């Protein structure tokens, strides 16, 4: 019988057939067994950093002589840039407590302006925790890089009222922005790292305001929601510590 990642077998395996006689079974890409000309086969083959591509070649990884970072490995968040024009596959959280939400063209008055489409929400009630959520596959104990662009503008009214955006990963706030009703339209890009604690991680875009008010109608936008595995500082393909360490960090 063949073994999983780490062992190479020839192009057939044996299973017990009728009467206890072993019968040959052809191996294939995606069966979690490295066989034939396959470079790797983890059974998932989704192109994630450090894993395998759909054709059983190696996905981006430390040592491939390419610096893989936020723009390199595959974004685990699906439709994180909302360029599909809808929310799929995000789950809308507490839609009844929202005045308005949609995918729209990026507002020009929120600077620095984004291009393309963005997610827009106007929370309708106080402390509603409204927004979007999505569960993504992660590896327990691995460190991921995250990033999100958040815009805010207040449509009318003053009075010291505030509204808050939170990015939560696995139920924990990892980044936030607070917008006062007297603030000018702003655009913030939040980013940092997160260590996964299980086989999946819930990504939540959470929006609130601190008071119910007919004169305070904050509008938030979110775009470029990114969660990736593998932020490399360098990768010369040798990684012997002279110019780049074995973990793809600078010496």
- Token pair listed for 149: 């662009």
Is there a contact between 9 and 2 (Cβ–Cβ < 8 Å)? Answer: yes
pLDDT tens per residue, range 128-166: 788 999 999 988 888 888 999 999 887 665 566 788 999
| CA 15-7-237 angle, 5° bins | 150
The pLDDT of residue 206 is: 94
- Token pair listed for 124: 């309708």
Measured from the Cβ of residue 167, the count of other Cβ atoms closer than 10 Å reads 26
The pLDDT of residue 4 is: 36
pLDDT tens per residue, range 210-234: 766 666 678 899 999 999 876 677 8
pLDDT tens per residue, range 45-99: 887 778 898 999 998 888 888 776 544 567 899 999 999 999 999 999 987 778 8
Is pLDDT at 23 greater than 70 in this prediction? no
Q: 3-state class of 95 per DSSP? A: helix
CA separation for the pair 139, 143 (Å, rounded): 9
Domain boundary assignment for the chain: 1-59, 91-229
| pTM exceeding 0.85 | no
For residue 192, CA distances in Å to 150, 167, 174, 198 come to 14, 11, 8, 19
C-alpha distance across the termini of the chain, in Å: 43
For residue 191, CA distances in Å to 164, 188, 226 come to 17, 10, 9
Q: What percent of the chain has pLDDT over 90?
A: 40
For residue 208, CA distances in Å to 78, 95, 123, 166 come to 24, 13, 6, 9
Number of H helices, E strands in the chain: 0, 14
More confident residue, 17 or 93: 93
| CA 39-37-17 angle, 5° bins | 105
CA separation for the pair 84, 243 (Å, rounded): 41
CATH for the stretch 91-229: 2.60.120.260
């Amino acid at each position: 019988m063949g073994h999983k990642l780490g062992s190479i077998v020839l192009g057939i395996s044996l299973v017990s057939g009728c009467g206890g006689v072993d019968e040959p079974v052809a191996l294939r890409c995606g069966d979690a067994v490295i066989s034939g000309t396959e470079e790797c086969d983890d059974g998932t083959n989704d192109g994630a950093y450090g894993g395998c591509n759909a054709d059983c070649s190696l996905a981006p990884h430390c040592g491939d002589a390419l610096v893989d970072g936020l723009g390199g490995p595959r974004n685990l968040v699906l439709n994180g840039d909302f360029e599909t024009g809808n929310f799929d596959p995000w789950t809308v959280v507490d839609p009844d407590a929202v005045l308005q939400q949609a995918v729209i063209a990026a507002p020009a008055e929120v600077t620095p302006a984004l291009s393309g489409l963005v997610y827009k929400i106007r929370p309708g009630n106080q402390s509603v925790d409204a927004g979007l959520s999505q569960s993504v596959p992660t590896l327990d104990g691995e460190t991921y890089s995250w990033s999100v662009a958040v815009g805010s503008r207040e449509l009318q009214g003053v009075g010291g009222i505030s509204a808050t955006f939170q990015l939560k990963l696995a139920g924990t706030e990892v980044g936030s922005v607070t917008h006062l009703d007297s603030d000018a339209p702003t655009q913030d890009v939040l980013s940092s790292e997160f260590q996964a604690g299980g086989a999946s991680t819930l990504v939540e875009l959470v929006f609130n305001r601190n008071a119910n008010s007919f004169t305070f109608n904050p509008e938030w936008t979110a775009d470029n929601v990114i969660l990736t595995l593998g932020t490399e500082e360098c990768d010369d393909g040798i990684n012997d510590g002279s110019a780049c360490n074995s973990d793809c960090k600078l010496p």
